[in-house]
Amino acid sequence: MKALFRFKSFLFDPTRRRNPIVSFSGFSKSSKSNKTRERTPSKIQAEATAITSLFNEITDILGSDVVKSDETTRLRAHVSGPVCDSGALVSCTQGVRENAAMGFSGENEEAQKGLLEEVDFSPVVHQITSVVRADDELVSMEERLEKLSFRFEPEIVENVLKRCFKVPHLAMRFFNWVKQKDGFSHRVGIYNTMLSIAGEARNLDMVDELVKEMEKHACDKDIRTWTILISVYGKAKKIGKGLLVFEKMRKSGFELDAAAYNIMIRSLCIAGRGDLALEFYKEMMEKGITFGLRTYKMLLDCIAKSEKVDVVQSIADDMVRICEISEHDAFGYLLKSFCVSGKIKEALELIRELKNKEMCLDAKYFEILVKGLCRANRMVDALEIVDIMKRRKLDDSNVYGIIISGYLRQNDVSKALEQFEVIKKSGRPPRVSTYTEIMQQLFKLKQFEKGCNLFSEMIESGIEPDSVSITTVVAGHLGQNRVAEAWEVFGSMEEKGIKPTWKSYSIFVKELCRSSRYDEIIKLFNQMQASKIAIRDDIFSWVISSMEKNGEKEKIDLIKEIQKKCNSYSQELNGSGKAEFRQEELVDKYNRPQVVQQSALPPASSAVDKMDVQEICRVLSSSRDWERTQEALEKLTVQFTPELVVEVLRNAKIQGNAVLRFFSWVGKRNGYKHNSEAYNMSIKVAGCGKDFKQMRSLFYEMRRQGCLITQDTWAIMIMQYGRTGLTNIAIRTFKEMKDMGLIPSSSTFKCLITVLCEKKGRNVEEATKTFREMIRSGFVPDRELVQNYLGCLCEVGNTKDAKSCLESLGKIGFPVPVAYSIYIRALCRIGKLEEALSELASFEGDRSLLDQYTYGSIVHGLLQRGDLQKALDKVNSMKEIGIKPGVHVYTSLIVHFFKEKQLEKVLETCQKMEEESCKPSVVTYTAMICGYMSLGQVEEAWNAFRNMEEKGTSPDFKTYSKFINCLCQASKSEDALKLLSEMLDKGIAPSTINFRTVFYGLNREGKQDLARIVLQKKSALVAQRKVST
């Protein structure tokens, strides 16, 4: 059975060395041997001693006269042949990219395109775009488009869509309208643009629908389509889908080039999947495809986090050979990767290897090592390295800035200021970023005067401030309620020739919100408009929510008027169409087969250190004695920020008791204050643990502290009450929110309707009432909500209301085929197959599209009533029109064959899935497990369960619950007890029913001692998750 879901695997062979230029033999052995030792307490102490000894040896090396400080000449040679934009050597697949640039068009199409380019479509595109983006509540976009007398040529459609890049809902409406026009051409360029728009909006459902439409209309994908899809799934961290698209691209006959591999490897590195990135890297090397230095550095950083030191060395060898960089530079990148990953021991061993190779050490190496030691909180060692640099006259303001950052990270301001004085006494001017970091810390500690004096000192010293430093001082003034002074400092930016960034304005707005200075906010918004700075919707939402809380209803209308003007198309055009062209360039950039940009990640300065999060979580889970935990927390050298606290709450939410005590403890620390996001997450943690008393207490505390309570806060509480069946309290909470003057948002409506539709605490009358209120409020529900709502109505037999709901959805812009497919799916699931088929037959729209959407549901319904032959006929008929069965269809077949005890058919179906590269979902694996258990094949069920994890699909709560039920029914309750423990280890909280099932099962089997352990585990979990008693 282990081979059932086997996918193609490229195992990376770390012993494979391709003409190694750099030798790391001694370094490799030392590192590798230490990894395999058994880590007993005595050996851990011995290892720590060994690292100290190694560090002393390194300082002797760095301090000796053998090592020279002169720069090594970089051995960069001119690359023969063309080089791509990303720095990658152009491989033998250059021809493929040239074809991609041509769009795989024939000569006739190119000639036609040449003729079309002679015509200037700009005025037509401009006019159509004005209609699409105009804000007219009286006449719909579709009606206004019908009145235009233009021919909607593919080039015109494509350019209009590009100019709607930032308004995906309007782009989709225009696309849905124009494709119904006679003579519409389903060109790949149009679909590529739509895929880019959907990808940027992170609307993966829209992406899937567009791909299906391309297949339906026989619109062949080009290499740009495939790379867009890989990029979209990579950015959304849907690695499984990205891998599937990559394999489909391979099977479609396209030669995979450097761009496709680049996107895939970078996506995997961003997602932390270094193991898979290595597999693709090996395949690239075997094909002779190369990429640039930037991707190599990204891969090096990702693999350095693992224990595969020899693999990291091999990649460094390749960097020297392929990117033609010097060994000196390669060592620098390798050293940096080790330091960033916290591998100080490996970094020190690398320094020793440099000594053995008699390579020179310049200031760059010292800086990297100092930064790594500071990140590892080894400040004394870092200072020792700086002392060596000082003796060699290699120290500069940059390395002292690193030391200062290290102390500030530990909240040790006094030592940071000591080092700051050292810089000034040395005669070197401190960097602007160093001044800024110290000012930020001083303002945070309420030492306002010191922060301002430091800023004045910076100006007097002739150091020009940047936008970040000036914004820091603005925030400091606003924290002291000195609004006039804040405006004066903010205005000094333009006097110094510095243009305020969007981030600067954003911080200014939020600080004014906290002090309820709404007149000043309106003034700032007007200034942003005059400066042509785009005001994002989340800023407007922040301000409006704050005004609603404080009863500023008149000013809300003024803010909404400003928002309307900002969103209007005429403002964006600026009379010259420049904004349009910027958006077109953005789409074109997205369409080009390029790699996922590293800049998509949050900046290092604002990102939360994962090591800090892991360390705090480890402390919280290490002891149930809060006093001991508190002592351990006090010893941590971590700078607590609201962002860090949010991540700790998110990662350790199953430890509700400890993590909420931590939340209370950190909130009392000097210089720290919780923000709204931190309170929202704490409320969610308390609700997940069913600690509703504590949840309400946190809500009231949030209000007392003056934190902004938005619709999101209410939505969290509504969801937490509802998911446990307390829907009456959820309804009261929703009304309480409205009584406080807050207008329900789309997410608030969705949370309430979702919990009202669930079987536990279901209230169909209130769900219907709330759903209609949501429609009247102008919100368009998403697919998930419509599916829950229509499914609920059908389950209670209210198909009449469900049918009438379809008409309402169509009027507000919800795609009609999608709505009908959801309704038909709901009918199939309650066994009303004939009614579903009748609805399908009477549908007046695009029948082929609806067939495609409802295909899986119809097959499921047929199998549910035992009509296997009709189900297979349906599958074959869809295959004939080019639509292959999806994972949903295959899973339904597997369930049916298990039910009929036809194991050979099950294996045959699994084989077909593998052949068609249809990856099993968690539902598929769960069906396999339950199916084997129903046949009494317990060992095979366990094999399927373990195989699931090996293939990268994590079991969810339902998988565990169903497996536990099956094991207990088969008198294997002791194995079920092991699954309970596994759930807890993985942070999945077992339900009361899970505990009860195992408890009764063990008692039936006469294992009362083990049954008592179940009760103990349940009590421990309750105590672990709740603060209130």
Taking only the tens place, the pLDDT of each residue in 494-522 is 777 788 887 888 888 888 887 778 888 88
How many of the other CB atoms lie within 10 Å of CB of 363? 17
Same domain for 164 and 240, yes or no, is no
Give the pLDDT of residue 43. Answer: 46
Last residue of one domain, picked from the residues 761, 779, 797: 779
- 1016-1024 contact pairs (CB < 8 A, 24+): 1017/980, 1017/981, 1017/984, 1018/992, 1021/984, 1021/989, 1021/990, 1023/624, 1023/657, 1024/624, 1024/654, 1024/655, 1024/656, 1024/657, 1024/658
pLDDT of 362: 67
10 or 246, which is more confident? 246
The answer to whether residue 22 scores a pLDDT higher than 90 is no
- Which residues are registered as beta bridge partners of 83? 89
Tell me: do 775 and 789 sit in the same domain.
no
Least confident piece of the model among 271-275, 449-453, 540-544, 662-666: 271-275
Q: Per the domain annotation, does 1008 fall within a domain?
A: yes
Is it the case that residue 608 has pLDDT exceeding 60?
yes
Q: Regarding predicted confidence, which is higher, 861 or 147? A: 861
* Comparison of pLDDT for 673 and 578, the residue scoring more: 673
- Provide, rounded to the nearest whole percent, the portion of the chain with pLDDT above 70: 81
- In this prediction, residue 478 has a pLDDT band, given cuts at 50, 70 and 90, of confident
Would you place residue 48 in the very low, low, confident or very high pLDDT band (cuts 50, 70, 90)? low
The pLDDT of 688-715, averaged and rounded, is 88
For residues 312 and 241, state if they share a domain.
Answer: yes
Q: Is the pLDDT of residue 786 over 70?
A: yes
Highest mean pLDDT among 18-22, 92-96, 883-887: 883-887
pLDDT per position as a tens digit, 614-650 = 888 888 887 778 888 888 888 887 888 888 899 899 8
Average model confidence (pLDDT) for the chain?
76
Instruction: Show the CA angle centred on residue 698, arms to residues 693 and 701, nearest 5°.
Output: 125
62 — pLDDT class (breaks 50, 70, 90):
low
Is the pLDDT assigned to residue 714 strictly greater than 90? yes
The confidence band for 136, taking pLDDT boundaries of 50, 70 and 90, is: low
| Cβ(352)–Cβ(58) below 8 Å | yes
Query: In the predicted model, what is the mean pLDDT of residues 480-498?
Result: 83
The model's confidence at residue 578, banded by pLDDT at 50, 70 and 90, is very low
Instruction: Give pLDDT, residue 41.
Output: 46
Asked if the structure places residue 40 within a domain, the reply is no
Residue 385 lies in a domain: no
Longest dimension (CA), the chain: 90
- Distance, in Å, from the CA atom of 831 to the CA atom of 462, rounded to the nearest integer, reads 79
Structural domain includes residue 364: no
**Same domain for 802 and 773:** no
127 or 700, which is more confident: 700
Cβ neighbours of residue 745 under 8 Å, at least 6 residues apart? Answer: 711, 712, 715
Q: What is the CATH number of the domain that holds 823?
A: 1.25.40
Considering its fold, how many domains does the chain have in total?
7
Rounded distance, CA 999 to CA 1011, Å? Answer: 5
Return the closest-CA partner of residue 419 out of 348, 370, 350.
370
- Domain assignment present for residue 476? The answer is yes
Is 384 a domain residue?
no
The residue ranking higher by pLDDT, 541 or 736, is 736
- The CA-atom distances, in angstroms, between 898 and each of 572, 890, 895, 927, 945 are 59, 12, 5, 9, 16
Mean pLDDT in residue range 196-222: 84
In the predicted structure, residue 211 carries a pLDDT above the cut 50: yes
Does 113 share its domain with 128? Answer: yes
Q: Which residue has the higher pLDDT, 949 or 772?
A: 772
Q: What is the 3 state secondary structure string of 745-768?
A: CHHHHHHHHHHHHCCCCCCHHHHH
pLDDT at 137: 56
Highest mean pLDDT among 386-390, 533-537, 636-640, 991-995: 991-995
Q: Distance between CA 433 and CA 464 in Å, rounded?
A: 11
* Position 32 confidence tier, pLDDT thresholds 50, 70, 90: very low
Q: For residue 47, tell me if it sits in a domain.
A: no
Distance CA 635, CA 243 (A): 44
Residues 214 and 110 in one domain: yes
Q: Which of 839, 871, 903 is the last residue of a domain?
A: 871
Range of the domain at 807: 784-871
* CATH for 478: 1.25.40.10
More confident residue, 608 or 30: 608
User: Residue 381 pLDDT > 90, yes or no?
Assistant: no
Last residue of a domain, one of 573, 588, 623: 573
Please give the pLDDT value at position 569.
35
Rounded Cα gap, residues 592 and 115, in angstroms: 24
- Residue 902 inside a domain? The answer is no
Strand partners, 89: 83
pLDDT band at 718; cut points 50, 70, 90? very high
What's the sign of the alpha-carbon dihedral 391, 397, 402, 403? positive
Q: Are residues 478 and 540 in the same domain?
A: yes
pLDDT at 97: 36
The arithmetic mean of pLDDT across residues 590-594, rounded, is 35
CB within 8 Å of 961: residues ≥ 6 apart: 991, 993, 994
pLDDT at 485 over 60: yes
Structural tokens at position 504: 């600067």
pLDDT at 70: 39
Q: What is the pLDDT of residues 262-287, one digit of tens each?
A: 778 887 887 777 778 788 888 878 77
769 and 816 belong to one structural domain:
no
In this prediction, residues 315-341 reach a mean pLDDT of 74
Residues 53-75, mean pLDDT to the nearest whole number? 47
Confidence of residue 782 (pLDDT cuts 50, 70, 90): confident
Residue-wise pLDDT tens digits, 80-101: 333 343 333 333 333 333 333 3
Residues 614 and 760 in one domain: no
Across residues 325-354, what is the average pLDDT?
74
Contact of 720 with 708, CB cutoff 8 Å:
no
The reply to whether the predicted model has a pTM over 0.85 is: no
Stretch among 135-144, 159-168, 707-716 having the lowest mean pLDDT: 135-144
**For residue 955, how many C-alpha atoms fall within 13 Å in the half-sphere facing its CB?**
32
What are φ and ψ of residue 65, in 5° steps? Answer: -85, -5
Per-residue pLDDT for 984 more than 60? yes
Same domain for 296 and 205, yes or no, is no
What is the band of 203 on the pLDDT scale with cuts at 50, 70, 90? confident
Examine the domain organization and report whether 754 and 791 are in the same domain.
no
Q: What is the reported pLDDT for 567?
A: 57
Statement to judge: residues 569 and 471 lie in one domain: yes
Question: What per-residue confidence (pLDDT) applies to 942?
Answer: 92
* CB-based contact 424:400 (threshold 8 Å): no
